[in-house]
Amino acid sequence: MANTIKKILVLTILATTLTACGSGRTAETRMIKQVTDGVEAQSAEIRLRNVKIVKNELSEGILVGTLVNWSDQSDAITGINIGGVAAKLSGVKFDLLKNKPITFVGDSANADAFAQISKVAGERIPITFTFATATPVTLDALVVAQDGIYENLVRSNAVAAPVVSEVKP
């Protein structure tokens, strides 16, 4: 009986030390933030969430993501570069008011941005957001193909992303 208790005690100690359960609040696995294809960043009190690029058949990189200003001071998105190319925007600037999200693509989309890109799905591309007062921020976003859940993108002003399909004789 004593040997069994000793074995259980030794196994318990080994299990907790080898599995890193003792790492506490700074465990690397606890610090993972990217839970989707999109990346996240922050500039001052502006949060950038789930940012990615969807590449369509016309080689347009369509920006997907949401920006939210948590500050009482308003700001504005004054420019977006995708892969070093100035994106075509659906507005001259997008005002970032407190807790009023700017959403690129989706049922609640209120902005649109895209640029010609040469990257293929699975690669990463830099996206730089420039603001009126906050520091510019650059993200290393994933490029995904326009298929599956990204096939029928709902864009601002009800402009659907073009989908080119093969015509079989």
What pTM, to 2 d.p., does this model score?
A: 0.73
Give me the residues paired with residue 61 across strands: 55, 115
Give Dmax (Cα) for the chain: 79
Q: Convert 32-66 into a string of H (helix), E (strand) and C (coil).
A: CCCCCCCEEEEECCEEEEEEEEEECCCCEEEEEEE
Residues in the chain: 169
Taking only the tens of pLDDT, the chain with its 169 residues reads 778 888 888 877 777 666 655 566 666 666 666 567 889 999 999 999 999 999 999 999 999 999 999 999 999 999 999 999 999 999 888 999 999 999 999 999 999 999 999 999 999 999 999 999 999 999 999 999 999 999 998 888 633 444 444 444 4
For residues 8, 12, 18, 21, the Cα torsion angle rounded to the nearest 10 degrees is 170
